[in-house]
Each structure stands twice: as C-alpha cells, then as structure tokens.
Chains A and B, each alone.
Chain A
Amino acid sequence: MIPFLIIFKRNIISFKKRAWGTLISGIDPLLFLLAFGFGIGKFISNVEGLSYVEFIAPAMVLVSVLYGSFFETTYNAFVRMYYENIYTAWLSTNATVKDIVLGEMLWGAVRGTLYAIIVIFILYCFGLIKNLCFLIIILALPLFGLVFASIGMFFTSVVPNIMFFDYLYFVYINPMILFSGTYFPINILPVFIKNILKALFPLYYAVKISRELYLSQPIDIISIIVLSITVVIFTVLAIKFLKIRLID
C-alpha cells in the first residue's frame, strides 16, 4: 500500500476509537443553522428569493466541511507532529513528507465530508432539501475537504506553536465563515471588497457551488478550477515547509 494511504488508514483506526466524540465536535454549523436560520430567519422575509434558512442551509454544509477538515489538519495534526513526534516515527520508514501531508489531508477531507453528510441528513429531516439533486454535492465534498485540509496542513507546517491556531481562527477562519456568502450575499458589498474576499476565502467558491446545486442551477466551472488550484498550491507549500520543519 502507498505510504500516504497507510497514514490515512492509521487515522481511520484512531477515529474509530473516538468516533462519537469527534463527530459531536462537528455540530457547530447545526447550531448556527438553528440560531440564524430558524431564529433570526423568522425576522427576514427573503434573501435572493429564498427564505433565510434556505439561503444559509447549503452554506452550512460547507461550513461543516471546513470545520472537519481544517481542525483535523491544524490542531490534531499539530499535536501528532509537535507533541507526539509521530511524524518523525513515520519519516524513519518509507514514508516521506509528501506522504504525511497527503495522508493527513485525505483524512481531513474525509472527516469534513462525514460532518457535512450529517448536516445534509439533518437538513433533509427538517425538510430543507426539496430537490434531491442537491445530494450530488456529496460527490464534491471530498474536493471541498481537500481545499480546507491543504490550507490547514500549510498552516501546520509553519506555525510556531499551537496557540497560533487560535489567532488564525479569529483573523482568517471566522472572517471566512462570515464573509463567503454564507450568511448574506457578498454582492451587496463594494466590488473591490468583494474581490478581496473572493481572493482570500476559497469557502466563497465552495458555497457558490453548493447553492447552485441547491437551486438546481448549472455549476460555474471556474469555481471548481479555483478550488482545485487552491488545493495544489497549498499542498505544495505544505510539503515544502514541512520538509524544512522536520529535516533541518
């Protein structure tokens, strides 16, 4: 078996031992859905022709992917690398830094996908999935997961300590969740601000695809290209910087 698949397998073995605890930590987007969608949403007549809860529902699927993938490849991966020194054990085998990055990313993407499937199931139970074609998104979830996992692995390769992820959450992840067209359409913002947000936050493209599928609209291929390029760039950077970090 290819080393990165063995690292992926190791992560599954570890996940199986604490699956419930891990999955429960992914319910945050559901809380947002309840509070914003069913709470604040009562006071908002419609957004782009949808009820507010329908507007944010497809975005919450993506926020859950982000949570699962990003937090797996930041906090959890950092603990494995820095506190448990497991990466040094893996590097003493046939595994390379590339295998570690790919194995961790793949697992991060799968974890994000699992979170999103739970959210999709709950959306279905609430009657928020009127068009079953939306379920096609499940096929795209691993790609979205890889986007956030690659960004997570990049930050893991460069941050000086685990506290840094807290700052990162406040200055990057939280703004990304708020300003990627998740809770309101960013078209209402000035063009240059919108362009900055689009350049900084890949979640925007993922949410766009999700909403297009939700509304049975054709998918903008540009979004898929941008997300794919994001994966490649951050994977290459993560490998480069992790190599510097682990082999001095």
Chain B
Amino acid sequence: MSIIEVESVIKYYKDIKALDGVSFSLEESQILSLVGPNGSGKTTLTKIISGFAKANSGKINIFGQDINEFEKIKNKIGLVPQENNLDQDINVLENLIIHSELCGLNTKIAKERSLNLLQKFGLDKYKHEDIKNLSGGTKRKIMLIRALLTNPKLLILDEPTIGLDPAIRRQFWDIIIDLKFQNISTIFTTHYMEEANFMADEIIFINRGKLILKGKPQDLIKNVLESFVFEIKEKVSIAGYKSYVYENKTFIFTPSKELLLSNLKLKGIEPSTIRETTLDDVFLYITGERI
C-alpha cells in the first residue's frame, strides 16, 4: 500500500517554479530519500506533504487521504523539520508533554510516553534540562522523540543530520533504520549522498524543482554508470566509454578497470585516481552539478 502518492506537483513562489511536475510514491515501511542541492525543491516538497505549503497544482494523497484533508491524518505523521523548533522556554520533558497534549493525549499518558521514549533513546538524564543547554545532536534526537510521541506511521525528516558530527549522524541513521522495522515509513531530505545511500530503500534525485532520477541506491549506479571511475586531470576523450568533464577533470566510467587502463596506456594517459563509482558521480553525470 502506498503511504504517499504525489502526482505532477507544481509549486511556485511568486514567479519562481520551486517544483516542476514532481511525481513519486512511498510504500509502507520504506525509507525514501530526496537528494538534491540547496534550492533544489526538496524542502518545498516536504513542506507540502507536511501541510505547511500548498501546491499550485497536482495531486497528493497520504494514507489514501487527499492532502486538503490534512487535519484527518496529522496524528499519523511525525515531523522533524530542518530548523530546531524545540521550545526554548521550557525543559525537555515539558516540551514533550505539551506536544503530546497538543496531539490529543491526556497529561498522564503524555508523561508516560515521553519518559519511555527518553529512556529508550538513553536521554532520560536530560528530562529536566533546558533546551539551550543541549548539544545539537541531543536536540535533534529530542525532536525525533517528539515526532514519535503519537506512534506515527510516517516520519518526515528534513535534513535530519545537518550540522551533526559523523558519530551522532551514524547513531541517527541506525535509529531511523530501526524504526523501519517497526513499520514506520520515512521520507527524508538530505544533501549527504552517503546518508541517502546508507539509509534509503529508494533515492530520488531532485534538481531545480524536477525529479531527475529515482531508484534503489545500488541500481542507480548500475543503471546509469559503470562500477569504476577513472579521474584524469585534463580534458580527454575516449570513445566507447561514458564520461564527463567537470572543472577541467575528466571522469571516465568502466565496468572493467584493466581494459580501460590498457586503453589509456596506449594513449599515454595516466589516471590520477581510480575508484568505485558513487552516487555523487551519478548526480554529477546527470545534472552537470555537484550537490
């Protein structure tokens, strides 16, 4: 069953087309990543599916409900926006209880659930702490806990690990993957390709408001490029290979390192780097732009 179905969505901000006919779907217990550079439209898309922006045209269904009936499905969705929007004037536990109560839980259940989740995430020691005293990583985890208070079936995360150090980011990834096995579907935006590759069942590349590629991480490389890439510090052209030039460097893709290496030797060309193809290469190959 599709949790989210987005069809031909267009969104303008004044004269600027932020989204240009985007269509995709998210299946149950799936993790979907929207990957694109800043200003590509991914945050606009998450704003629309979380009810904070309205599309100019197109159709969106979430849990089979039209997005215009968003109030009916609000409690099935947990949202972690890009910016810290924890309440700075009250402590961690108060933040969670007020949020739960606003979601319709009574105070007793709100408190129980908040304490349980804090304990589960190993953060119960911070329950009486003011938000301003927490580290960036802890704030993000508290925001995730807040999103989970209503036992949502869908999580929407906008750049969930932005600004976090690698160890905390990795912890965050593990938590999201763990939630998948509790039948929670997740859609998240990122411009960290490594993050999308690690967590996502499906990746959508989005650039300049358009969906440019969609697929499983392993398939994106296989379907678009080859397994290995040779970097050469000059502009060269080798017939029969997929390649592109970026910042005066040539990137040549091959399924077989040995064959390309011998071809280059014949032409007297020395590659500066030989490595496995990454999703960054796929994005750059398709768009001509780096994330």
Contacts and interface: CB of A to CB of B under 8 A. Distances in A.
Interface stretch (A84-92, A108-116, A136-144, A148-156): A84-92
B102 A246 contact: no
B59 interface: no
B101 to A, nearest CB: 5
A25 interface: no
A13 B51 CA distance: 28
B85 interface: yes
B233 interface: no
Given A17-B89, A84-B87, A248-B54, A90 B94 contact: no
Nearest to A11: B89
B-side interface size class:
20 to 34
Given A1-B101, A84-B85, A94 B75 contact: yes
A3 B74 CA distance: 14
Contacts of A14: 87, 89-90
The main secondary structure of chain A at its interface with chain B is helix
A13 B94 contact: yes
Interface string B42-76: 00000100111110000000000000000100110
A85 B85 contact: yes
A6 B52 contact: no
Interface string B126-166: 00000000000000000000100000000000000000000
B97 to A, nearest CB: 9
A9 interface: yes
A93 interface: yes
Contact of A92 (B13, B79, B94): B79
A94 B74 contact: yes
A94 B102 contact: yes
Contacts of A89: 85-87, 99, 146
Interface in A55-107: 80, 84-86, 88-96
A248 B74 contact: no
Contacts of A13: 90, 94, 98
A247 B51 contact: yes
Contacts of B248: none
25 contacts: A3-B102, A9-B98, A10-B87, A13-B94, A13-B98, A14-B90, A17-B89, A17-B90, A84-B85, A84-B87, A85-B81, A85-B83, A86-B87, A88-B81, A89-B85, A89-B86, A91-B52, A92-B51, A93-B74, A94-B71, A94-B75, A94-B104, A95-B102, A246-B52, A248-B13
Interface of A: 1, 3, 6-7, 9-10, 13-14, 17, 80, 84-86, 88-96, 246-248
